[in-house]
Amino acid sequence: MRWAAATLLLAACSSPEDRPVEWSLDESDFWPSLGTYPGVGEGRIVIPNGLDDTVSVLDLAAVGSDDLAVIARVPVGLVPVEREGPHHVATALDGEHYYVGISNFVPGAGSGPHGVHGGGTASGHILKLRTSDNIEVASVRVDRSPGDVRLTPDGTKLLVSHFDLLRITEVLQAGGDEAEMVSKLAIIDPVTMTRETLIDLCPAAHGIVISPDGARAFVSCLDDGLAIVDVASEAHEVTRVTVVPQPGSVSAPACYPYALTRSPSGDSVWVSCYSSGQVLRYDVEAGAMDESLDIRLPGPAAFGTFAADGTLIVPYQMVNGLAFIDPATGDLDTLDLPADLCVAPHMARFTDDDERLLVVCEGDHASPGNLLVMDPETREVERSVELGIFPDDIGILRSGG
- Percent of the chain whose pLDDT exceeds 90: 79
Mean pLDDT of 353-380: 97
Mean pLDDT of 57-81: 91
Q: Which of 52-56, 117-121, 129-133, 348-352 has the lowest mean pLDDT?
A: 117-121
Backbone angles phi, psi at 164, to 5 degrees: -90, 80
* Confidence check: pLDDT of 91 > 80: yes
Average pLDDT, the chain: 89
Separation CA 363–CA 352 (nearest Å):
25
Which 3-state string (H, E, C) describes the chain? Answer: CHHHHHHHHHHCCCCHHHCCCCCCCCHHHHCCCCCCCCCCCCCEEEEEECCCCEEEEEEHHHCCCCCCCEEEEEECCCCCCCCCCEEEEEECCCCCEEEEEECCECCCCCCCCCCCCCECCCEEEEEEEECCCCEEEEEEEEEECEEEEEECCCCCCEEEEECCHHHHHHHHHHCCCHHHHEEEEEEEECCCCEEEEEEEEEECCCCEEECCCCCEEEEEECCCEEEEEECCCCCCCEEEEECCCCCCCCCCCCCCEEEEEECCCCCEEEEEECCCCEEEEEECCCCEECCCCCEECCCCECECEECCCCCEEEEECCCCEEEEECCCCCCEEEEECCCCCCCCEEEEEECCCCCCEEEEECCCCCCCCEEEEEECCCCEEEEEEECCCCECCCEEECCCC
The reported pLDDT for the residue numbered 122 is: 83
* Beta pairing class for 257-262 and 238-242: unpaired
Is residue 320 within 8 A of residue 337, CB to CB? The reply is yes
List the strands of the sheet with 194-203, edge to edge.
146-151, 158-162, 182-189, 194-203
Q: Which of 7-16, 27-36, 81-90, 246-255 has the lowest mean pLDDT?
A: 7-16
The reported pLDDT for the residue numbered 34 is: 56
Task: Give the model confidence (pLDDT) of 207-244 as tens digits.
Answer: 999 999 999 999 999 999 999 999 999 999 999 999 99
- Residue 12's pLDDT band, with cuts at 50, 70 and 90, is very low
Is residue 104 within 8 A of residue 124, CB to CB? The reply is yes
The reported pLDDT for the residue numbered 36 is: 64
Q: Which amino acid is at 223?
A: D
* Confidence check: pLDDT of 171 > 70: yes
- Residue 119's pLDDT band, with cuts at 50, 70 and 90, is low
- Residue 41's pLDDT band, with cuts at 50, 70 and 90, is confident
Mean pLDDT of 28-52: 78
Task: Give the model confidence (pLDDT) of 355-365 as tens digits.
Answer: 999 999 999 99
The reported pLDDT for the residue numbered 337 is: 97
Task: Give the model confidence (pLDDT) of 248-281 as tens digits.
Answer: 999 999 999 999 999 999 999 999 999 999 999 9
Separation CA 2–CA 42 (nearest Å):
52
Q: Which amino acid is at 2?
A: R
Mean pLDDT of 386-397: 97
The reported pLDDT for the residue numbered 3 is: 36
Q: Which of 95-109, 321-335, 372-386 has the lowest mean pLDDT?
A: 95-109
Q: What angle do CA 215, 216, 221 make, to 5 degrees?
A: 165
Is residue 339 within 8 A of residue 313, CB to CB? The reply is no
* Confidence check: pLDDT of 51 > 50: yes
Mean pLDDT of 77-92: 87
Backbone angles phi, psi at 61, to 5 degrees: -65, -20
The reported pLDDT for the residue numbered 6 is: 39
Mean pLDDT of 22-48: 70
